[in-house]
Amino acid sequence: MSVPTLRILVGVKRVVDYAVKVRVKPDHSAVETANLKTSMNPFCELAVEAAVQLRERLGAERVAEVVAASIGPAANQETLRTALAMGADRAVLVSTDNASAAANSPSLESEPLGVARALAAMQSRLNANLIILGKQAIDDDANQTGQLLAGILNWSQATFLSKIEFEEQSDWLQVDREVDEGIERLRLRLPCVLTCDLRLNQPRYVTLPNLMRAKTKPIETRTPSELGVTLNPHWMITRVDEPPSRRQVTMLRNVDELVAKLRQLGVLNRS
């Protein structure tokens, strides 16, 4: 049986840059994002890098194409350009620009269910058999899109990955998942959804020749209705607050003090 070629779909999200300090709006309705520098979600960078490395490792015959997709306004083209410069072959933007006013709430792009549905629609258009996403976005920390997508498509999923390896000439993968207890090793089969965690790889720097090449690679724009998807908000954010400031730290001088303190807090039983 011939080994199926891989058609990889990578989802990328544009978020407020990781290094920027965000503030809560005075009316506590949302985080202030106006005029802040945005860039690709760091976990999405890992996903793009993973897809490009797969093609480098398995060869161009095995990997037919790597497509980057993003759901959001026209500004997301910047993020897709980075994905193209890192090695994706082409990109698709699912544009939310002309969505109706009511639907254009701040959470529209964020909601994982809508994104998962859009990506599922993309998958059927592209006939992708491997979808790689970042484990979560740094603005909402939702950590849901990959899992929802696998459910919608009824595919296998492996999340929080720190290693991805294909078995020799096979459509089975061996992956390492980062879980609370340590590393979990799984074996799963195409088609599947993978989400990436920090230790998977180190995203490459974009070289200028690649950036120039990326400008010739196509970025298609599609609307949600073209894909047969409606992005209706399901959430309403009632209030956003900063986390409470940390309590005073007490320095203890020795183990006796530590034990006394723990007893005082009722953590240690007298035994």
Partner 1 sequence: MATVSLRDLLFSSLLSKVFLPPRAGIYFGPIRSRSIGYRRNFFPLKSCGERKLSTTHSSEAKCWRGDYAQLEKADIEALAKLADVSKPTALPSKRSETSSVCITSADQLRSYNTDWTGQFHGNSQLCLRPSNAEAVAAILSYCNQKKLAVTPQGGNTGLVGGSVPVFDEIILSMSRMNRILEMDEEHGIVTVEAGVPLSRVDSFCRERGFSFPLDLGAKDSCQIGGNLATNAGGSRYIRYGSLHGTVLGLEVVLADGTVLDLGSGKRIRKDNTGYDLKHLFIGSEGTLGVITKATFACYPAPLGTQAAFVGITGDFARVRHWLLDARRDLAEHLRAFEVMDAEAMMLHRSYSRGFRDPFREPHSFYILIETSTGITAERAASTPLETWLEKMIRSHERSDVIIAQDLTQSAQFWQLRESLPEMVRQSGPSVLKYDLSLPLTVFYDIVEVTRERLRQEALDAHVYAWGHVADGNLHLNISGTAPKAILHAALEPWLYEWTLQHGGSCSAEHGIGLLKSHLLARSKGTVTLGIMERLKAVMDPNGILNPYKLFKTCSRAE
Contact residues toward partner 1 (CB under 8 A) are 17-21, 35, 37, 39-40, 42, 45, 74, 77, 82, 85, 202, 205-209, 211-212, 215
Nearer Cβ to partner 1, position 21 or 270? 21
CA neighbor of 215 nearest in space, from 67, 81, 45, 80 = 81
Shortest distance in whole angstroms from residue 181 CB to partner 1 = 26
Nearer Cβ to partner 1, position 51 or 113? 51
Shortest distance in whole angstroms from residue 89 CB to partner 1 = 18
* HSE, side-chain direction, 13 A CA sphere, residue 251: 1
Nearer Cβ to partner 1, position 37 or 253? 37
**What phi and psi values does residue 171 have, to the nearest 5 degrees?**
-105, 25
Q: In the 8-state DSSP scheme, what is residue 198?
A: G
Shortest distance in whole angstroms from residue 236 CB to partner 1 = 30
Shortest distance in whole angstroms from residue 47 CB to partner 1 = 14
Nearer Cβ to partner 1, position 97 or 167? 97
Rounded to whole angstroms, the Cα distance separating 160 from 156 reads 14
Nearer Cβ to partner 1, position 40 or 67? 40
Beta partners for 182? 179
Shortest distance in whole angstroms from residue 193 CB to partner 1 = 25
What is the torsion angle, in degrees rounded to the nearest 10, for the CA atoms of residue 212, residue 216, residue 219 and residue 220? 170
HEC per residue, 40-108: ECHHHHHHHHHHHHHHHHHCCCCEEEEEEEEEECCCHHHHHHHHHHHCCCEEEEEECCCCCCCCCCCCC
Shortest distance in whole angstroms from residue 118 CB to partner 1 = 22
Nearer Cβ to partner 1, position 4 or 73? 73
Output Rg (C-alpha) for the chain, integer angstroms.
22
Rounded to whole angstroms, the Cα distance separating 31 from 137 reads 15
